[in-house]
Amino acid sequence: MRSTPHKALATTALAVAALAAASVTATPAAAAPVPAPRAAACTPAQVVANGGFESDTSPWTQSQASVITSRAGQSAHGGSSFAWLNGVGSTHTDTLSQSVTIPSGCSSATLTFWLHIDTAETTTSTKYDKLTAKIGSTTLATYSNLDKNTGYVQKSFDVSAFAGQTVSVGFTGTEDSSLQTSFVVDDVALDTSGGTTPPGDSTRTPSAPSYTVNLSSNTAGTVWSGHESATFTNASATALSEVYLRLWDNYHGTCSAMPITVTNVTGGTAGALSVGCTALKIDLPAPLTQGQSATIGFDLGITVPSGADRFGYDGAFSMLGNALPVLAVRDAAGWHLDPYTNNGESFYSLASDFKVTLDHPSTLLVPATGASVDTPGTSGRTITTATATKVRDFAWAAGPFSKISGTSAAGTPVNIYSVSGISSSDAQSMLSTATSAVDAHSARFGAYPYGELDAVIDNNYWFGGMEYPGFVLDLVSTTALTHEIAHQWWYGIVGDDEYNNPWLDEAFTDYATDLAQNKTGSGCWNSVSWASSAEKITNSMGYWDAHSSRYSTVVYGYGKCALHDLRRVLGDTAMAKVLKDYATSHWYGVSTTAEFKAAAQAATTTDLTSFWTQHRIDG
């Protein structure tokens, strides 16, 4: 998580502070090169055919013709047809299966289906009737009459271990001699992603998204409902037949109790949720060719969970980071449908425009991304309209905050919103830090473009701090707030794929924080110890989620130290020019490791090949 989660504050501080006395010339030992195995190609895909049972029965195999049906007595999750196993009330077995091929090289494969169970059984302890879900010979789950429910519940299983195999996805339902149990299955999907893909169109699309949102809150600001629409253009020469919405905050719930709900989709047909219910596929009515635009719309419900989190409420104060569905990106690697990570970020989106109208009780202040205007609503309510251009996301908060405001020397308005328990002196200190930091970063990387800057201060945040465009969450910490504000440039303005390249924003932001605080990073590599030959500054969040104790040490600590070393190789003036020119050339765009390495190499006659190898910067 950004800035420095508590663990990162501690780990990075120890790692870097303890290194401060070491020799400037020391560099990390070069690891012996380990040839990487060549990965098989993986084109992200949904490999179950006719998962909604709307196209007759093919290619499903059913034990009797009536399993796939639209007959009265049960209803579909979507469309008109469904699979109805059992429900006979006598000894009976029904089966349903389909053979699927999961592409080789796919690092992620998720099987999902929606299940409704009703029963005439009255027992609360005996499993008389059962449904077994299997892939190949592996049983994924068994449900029974004890799992009866009033509606559909989505089930989700990681089946990545079957990549490269052709296997059967199947359901077997059994009933005993009396009292029926109906197992009703619909919208079966098996989504694959990750790995490498064949070369494709590298154009990032859908481009130039424009979001219009109208939401109204309950009295506490913890429940919001309304409507969102997204207009976008296909920038790619490859036709766009679908889009994906990322419902990131569904990570904080379960698929049966989602905090983010999307219903009544217009402009396309909603498919099954995938990736832990954080990705929603929407098939477009007709493929968009290059340059064509389209609009989708949907009703949106948001329920904020308890907890001092980037999405959560702390007492009377609600934080709504990543709460608005945003469009996923398709590029040469296909659709980016990476899982949510609580250890850092998974976010990857293109610069977008937002107009967000928030109807809320007048007792709540609502700081938000963009420039906000408040107008009176109905009795006792206020309408906050926030407008933001060229931002990658939109976040807001709601609560009876204490607010103080100021303006930086260069003219940026800054607002500090404090929860209960933050002293006025601490709030004033954070205002001073914010006005100083925004100007320091602007001078180095380019003028801050987002108008005002809002900071919500709460010492209960477990994660330290988190940035959104023009809006940050933070503890009372000079270093952390300076870091969060640096993220306005490194990921906010100069974007990147945060799941696959976290160093491009975290290391650059920690380096910018050092510069703003006049720290030189001298001796960064004293006592450094790499955990393994596989550990690299440029590893993805997939790697760091499996090695979470090393994430902040390597990405934040070693990453910024590598940039300090690069500055020493290039010289202070040349390094400053590289970063400012790089920010300018990628303004509102997307950075890659290869592009940054090329920009650094262009600034010197010294061959940097060994530098990248020694510092474990691949790409």
Which pLDDT value is given to residue 43?
Answer: 65
> Averaged over 9-18, what is the pLDDT?
38
Q: Are residues 119 and 203 in the same domain?
A: no
Which of 369, 400, 431 is a domain's end point? Answer: 400
Helix, strand or coil for residue 234?
Answer: coil
* Whether pLDDT at 4 is above 70: no
Degrees, nearest 5: CA angle 350-353-355: 145
Same domain, 296 and 386: yes
Question: Tokens 């059913």 — which residue?
Answer: 62
**Higher pLDDT among residues 235 and 1, named by residue:** 235
Contact 76, 113 (CB under 8 A): no
Rounded mean pLDDT of 481-507? 97
For residue 297, give the 3-state DSSP assignment: strand
Q: Evaluate if residue 440 carries a pLDDT over 90.
A: yes
Higher pLDDT, residue 16 or 454: 454
pLDDT tens for 497-552 read 999 999 999 999 999 999 999 999 987 877 788 999 999 999 999 999 999 999 99
Q: Locate 275 and state its tokens.
A: 């990736």
Section 24-34 average pLDDT: 34
Does residue 417 carry a pLDDT above 50?
A: yes
DSSP for 294-307, written as a single string: EEEEEEEEEEPPBS
**Residue 40 pLDDT > 70:** no
**Do residues 182 and 281 share a domain?**
no
Shared domain for 247 and 375, answered yes or no, is: yes
Residue 42 is predicted with a pLDDT of: 64
Contacts of 76 (CB under 8 A, 6+ apart): 52, 53, 70, 82, 186
User: Which two three-digit tokens encode residue 396?
Assistant: 């807001």
**What is the distance between the alpha carbons of residues 309 and 37, in angstroms, rounded to a whole number?**
39
Query: Which pLDDT band, with edges at 50, 70 and 90, does 78 fall under?
Result: confident
Domain assignment present for residue 40? The answer is no
Contact residues for 347 (Cβ-Cβ < 8 A; gap 6+): 248, 322, 392, 393, 491, 498, 499
In a domain? residue 575 = yes
Same domain flag for 439 and 525: no
Residue 357 and residue 220 share a domain: yes
Find out whether 454 and 484 touch, Cβ atoms under 8 Å: no
Name the H helices within 487-608. Answer: 503-516, 541-546, 548-551, 559-570, 572-585, 593-602
How far apart are alpha carbons 599 and 474 in whole angstroms?
33
What pLDDT score was predicted for residue 6?
36
Read off the CATH number of the domain in which 118 is found.
2.60.120.260
Provide the 3-class DSSP secondary structure of residue 570.
Answer: helix
Q: pLDDT by residue (tens digit) across 567-579?
A: 999 999 999 999 9
Query: Considering only 25-39, 208-222, 314-328, 334-348, which range has the smallest mean pLDDT?
Result: 25-39
Quote the DSSP letter at residue 251: G
Q: Choose the final residue of a domain: 167, 193, 219.
A: 193
Q: In the chain, what percentage of residues exceed pLDDT 90?
A: 79
Q: Which domain holds residue 556?
A: 503-615
Task: Give the per-residue pLDDT at 104.
Answer: 75
pLDDT of 35 higher than 90 = no
For position 200, what pLDDT does the model report?
Answer: 58
CA atoms within 13 A on the CB side of 317: 21
Mean pLDDT of the chain: 90
Does 23 have pLDDT greater than 60?
A: no
Q: Are residues 395 and 413 in the same domain?
A: no
CB-based contact 568:520 (threshold 8 Å): no
Question: What distances in angstroms separate CA 366 from CA 221, 418, 463, 601, one per listed residue?
Answer: 9, 12, 22, 45
Please tell me the predicted confidence (pLDDT) of residue 443. Answer: 98
Instruction: Assess whether the previous peptide bond of 59 is cis (omega < 30° from 0).
Output: yes
Query: Of the spans 22-31, 104-113, 452-461, which averages the highest pLDDT?
Result: 452-461
Q: Are 256 and 286 contained in the same domain?
A: yes
The pLDDT assigned to 476 comes to 98
Cα–Cα distance for residue pair 484/501, rounded to 1 Å: 18
Rounded distance between C-alpha atoms, residue 619 and residue 604, angstroms: 19
Per-residue pLDDT at 32: 33
Q: Alpha-carbon distance 510 to 559, whole Å?
A: 8
pLDDT higher than threshold 80 for residue 307: yes
pLDDT at 41: 54
pLDDT at 195: 58
Task: Evaluate if residue 36 carries a pLDDT over 90.
Answer: no
Of the candidates 276, 354, 364, which has an alpha carbon nearest to the alpha carbon of residue 319? 364
Q: What is the DSSP letter of 409?
A: T
Q: Are residues 344 and 417 in the same domain?
A: no
Lookup: tokens for 561: 């130290």
Per residue in 559-568, pLDDT (tens digit) is: 999 999 999 9
> 376 preceded by cis ω (within 30°)?
no
- Count of structural domains within the chain: 4
Residue 232 placed within a domain: yes
